[in-house]
A and B are shown apart, each in its own frame.
Chain A
Amino acid sequence: MTGVRDELARLAGEALDYADAEVAIRRAHRRRVRNTVASVATAVLVAIGTAVPVLWLRDAGEAAPTSEVSPSPDSKATDGVQLYRPNQTIDGVALPPGAQDKTGEIGRVWRTAHGVVLMGTKGTYFAYNNDPIMVLLAPAGTPATVSADGRFAAWVGDDGAAWVADLSQELVTGAPVMALPQGVRVQQWAGDRLVLTNAARARWMLWRPGDAIGAMWQDGEFRTSDGAGTMALVIDGTGCLVRVNLSTLGEEEKACDGSFTVVEASPDLKWLWLERNGQHLLADGERFFQDPVGVRPIGAMPGQVVWSGRRWVMVSADGTLLRVLSTSGSVFDEMDVEKGTVLVEMPSG
């Protein structure tokens, strides 16, 4: 090993450029606004206490919120994330006129090679890239799931069968694959297999569409898997969160320190967004199983969450506030967005 100066210089060379002036200014601006609100509130309390009849809040001067900074959702902080905003293009895909009437309120959007999948209150539709055609995939009330690579969609049809659509085809159509037993639903893709769940009986199984459904049910509540379908997170019968190897279906690690549930996970399961008793927490998925106490609380956080590749991005339930969180849970960036904004789930790998 060489000298400490050389070693430090070499290590420093691995650093990325983390500095972003636009985000820093926006954070400074928010801090000023918060301080102004706090000082005005204090002034009001003092004024009330001393019976001052008139408050002159108009001239707040230097500390007043200004509009010098106009938040842009296209900053570096949201790299890796696309937003669906009502009546605007989605990652270059313009929706046909009247699309909103067809889909109803949109809850989830997936980007695929030939278009986007829109899951709305009136059904799940496929909109081709720059084409006025939208295809109905799944009817209303049957939540669809799209594979991590954006290639397949699956859902349970009105007929109780599992339907699959190959989104990589030029012409996207769904087809029934197999009638499912009563109470069984399609949860999500795990690689090229589907996870079927029976919530009432707290069990799950992996199923490759086209194969017969055997008796390979696993006990526990399936939560999520990595994009490749090699590892899954499952709540077992005793409430422990378990990492399950999907090749062997064996338990690899287990955390029993509290009833955690998984809200979202990065595609490699490296980062976890957890919930426990209404409290939301962030965790390093590799260290969590050795040290479940080391999770970072971030408060209650309703809305949609996705992993951008570097950070957590969330949109509030009404789609008006976008927040970017670092892996340690601090607010990295925050901005107002158009009501109804939804995060677009991008293909991985």
Chain B
Amino acid sequence: MNRYEGFEEFVRARGAALSRTAYLLCGDHSAAEELVQDSLARAAGHWRRIVNTNPEGYVRKIMVNQHTSWWRRVGRRERPYADLTAVMEGGRDDAQVTTERLALVTALAALAPKQRAVIVMRYYEDMSQAEIAEVLGVTTGTVKRNTYDALRKLRALLPTLDLEPEAGR
């Protein structure tokens, strides 16, 4: 039996979804591509073991933790792409969408990686706090704390963004 049997089909089916999550975590195409491919390579190495469990969850878990780990090594030098105030004030009506998108990218870049991860998992992946805690390998209390801190920072940076109150599910 080919040790990678079913892997290509999995990547074909779920690669695009994993790419979207990676892009939200990283904020740029090059880093997102690296994150996806590195995580897929790790998953391929353990494919026989994970193929009958939840391979997508496994890859997501690697992605989130790899991203946090990268940030520890090199990300402290990361800077937001632009001054947020300048981005918001410089926007014109006909470029409103682009301006808001840039503002969101900049605001997400200002979050710590675990804060960014909880925002992406909570509001994009629609995962519960328990599921997020499992992926990050932390308690639900830590997830709540990270979510609270992330939302507070996003509110300060993007006052016009409609942030739902945390229901705590």
Where the two chains meet, the residues of A that have a C-beta atom closer than 8 Å to any C-beta of B are 1-5, 7-25, 27-28, 31-32, 68-69, 291, 293-294, 296, 310, 326-328, 330, 332
Contacts and interface: CB of A to CB of B under 8 A. Distances in A.
B105 to A, nearest CB: 7
B31 A328 contact: yes
A24 B30 contact: no
Given A1-B160, A7-B100, A11-B105, A18 B45 contact: no
Interface residues of B, number: 54
A8 B161 contact: no
B42 interface: yes
Contacts of B24: 8, 11-12, 15
A78 to B, nearest CB: 14
Interface of B: 2-4, 7-8, 10-12, 14-16, 18-24, 29-34, 36-38, 40-45, 47, 74, 77, 79, 97, 100-101, 103-105, 119-120, 123-124, 154, 158, 160-164
B104 A18 contact: no
Contacts of A32: 45
Contacts of B124: 5, 8-9, 12
Given A21-B11, A68-B2, A8 B37 contact: no
Contacts of A3: 161-164
15 contacts: A1-B103, A1-B161, A4-B164, A7-B101, A7-B104, A7-B161, A12-B20, A14-B101, A18-B19, A20-B37, A25-B4, A25-B41, A27-B38, A326-B34, A328-B34
Contact of A326 (B3, B33, B120): B33
Q: Which 5 residue pairs spanning A and B have beta carbons closest together?
A: A19-B15, A15-B23, A27-B41, A24-B40, A28-B44
Contacts of B47: 28
B101 A27 contact: no
A1 B100 contact: yes
A10 B101 contact: yes
Say whether chain B's binding surface is mostly helix, strand, loop, or mixed: helix
Given A11-B24, A11-B105, A4 B162 contact: yes
Nearest to B36: A18
B28 to A, nearest CB: 9
Given A3-B162, A8-B124, A12-B23, A28 B45 contact: yes
Contacts of A293: 77
Contacts of A16: 19, 23, 29, 33
Nearest to B33: A18
A159 B10 CA distance: 63
Nearest to A32: B45
A296 B29 CA distance: 17
B123 A291 contact: no
A310 B3 CA distance: 30
A270 to B, nearest CB: 11
Which of B12, B33, B38 counts the most A-chain CB atoms under 10 A from its CB?
A: B33
Given A310-B30, A328-B34, 6 more contacts: A9-B124, A19-B19, A28-B41, A28-B44, A68-B4, A332-B37
Nearest to B35: A18
A163 B114 CA distance: 59
Nearest to A290: B79
A271 to B, nearest CB: 9
A9 B104 CA distance: 12
A5 B123 contact: yes
Contact of A19 (B2, B40, B105, B120): B40
Contacts of B104: 7-8, 11
Nearest to A6: B162
